[in-house]
C-alpha cells in the first residue's frame, strides 16, 4: 500500500501517448483516427474527484475495500491495457526487495528544511535533489 501511494503521489512516468486507431468521442468532441493522445498519469493520480485530498500521503487509499470502489484505470503507474509495461511485476517485486533490504539496515527521513521540486521528463525526478538523513539501525 505504501509503495502504491508513493507511486500515485510521485508518478514515475508522468504521461503516456497513444495513437487512436478509430474515431473516438471524448467529452462530446470527436477525435479522428490517427490522433496522438497524451494521457497525463500525474493528473489522473491527483484527480480530486477520485483522490480526495490528493496531495496527502495516505496508504489506506489502497486498502482492498477502497480499491474496489474506484475505476480500475484511476491508478495506472505502469500504463494499462494491452500496451502496459511488461516489466511491471518485476519492477514491483524489485522495489519491495530493495526497500526491505535497505530499511532493515538503516533509518531514513527527509530533510524537513528542503522542499523537493519535481522535474517532469520521460520519468519523473527531482529537479533539486532529495535530501535525506540516514542512520544505522541499532
Angle between helices 2-9 and 88-105 (to 10 degrees): 110
pLDDT of residue 88: 93
Q: Is the pLDDT of residue 22 over 90?
A: yes
- Alpha-carbon dihedral of residues 26, 30, 31, 34, nearest 10 degrees? 130
Enter the DSSP assignment of 120: -
Total domains present in the chain: 1
Mean pLDDT of 38-66: 96
> Among 33, 35, 37, 1, which residue's Cα sits nearest to residue 17?
37
pLDDT at 114 over 90: yes
Taking the CB of residue 92, how many other CB atoms lie within 10 A of it?
15
Separation in Å, CA 132 to CA 54, 93, 116 = 24, 24, 11
The predicted-structure confidence for 73-112, as pLDDT tens digits, reads as follows: 999 999 988 888 899 999 999 999 999 999 999 999 999 9
Closest-CA residue to 41 (of 5, 17, 65, 70): 17
Determine the Cα–Cα distance for residues 111 and 44; give it in Å rounded to an integer: 28
pLDDT value, residue 122:
78
List the CATH number of the domain containing 105: 1.10.630.10
Are 70 and 95 spatial neighbours (Cβ–Cβ below 8 Å)? no
Task: Reduce the DSSP state of residue 5 to 3 states and report it.
Answer: helix
Domain of 35, in residue numbers: 2-136
| Contact call for residues 111 and 133 (beta carbons, < 8 A) | yes
What mean pLDDT is reported for the chain?
Answer: 93
The answer on whether 39 is annotated among ligand-binding residues is no
Amino acid at each position: 500500500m505504501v509503495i502504491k501511494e508513493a507511486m500515485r503521489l510521485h508518478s514515475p512516468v508522468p504521461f503516456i501517448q497513444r495513437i487512436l486507431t478509430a474515431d473516438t468521442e471524448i467529452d462530446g468532441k470527436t477525435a479522428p483516427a490517427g490522433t496522438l493522445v497524451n494521457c497525463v498519469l500525474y493528473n489522473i493520480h491527483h484527480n480530486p474527484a477520485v483522490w480526495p485530498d490528493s496531495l496527502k500521503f495516505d496508504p489506506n487509499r489502497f486498502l482492498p475495500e477502497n480499491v474496489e470502489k474506484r475505476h480500475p484505470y484511476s491508478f495506472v503507474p505502469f500504463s494499462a491495457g494491452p500496451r502496459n509495461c511488461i516489466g511491471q511485476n518485476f519492477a514491483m517485486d524489485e522495489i519491495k526487495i530493495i526497500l526491505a533490504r535497505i530499511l532493515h539496515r538503516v533509518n531514513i527521513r527527509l530533510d524537513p528544511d528542503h522542499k523537493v521540486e519535481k522535474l517532469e521528463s520521460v520519468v519523473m525526478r527531482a529537479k533539486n535533489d532529495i535530501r535525506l538523513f540516514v542512520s544505522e539501525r541499532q
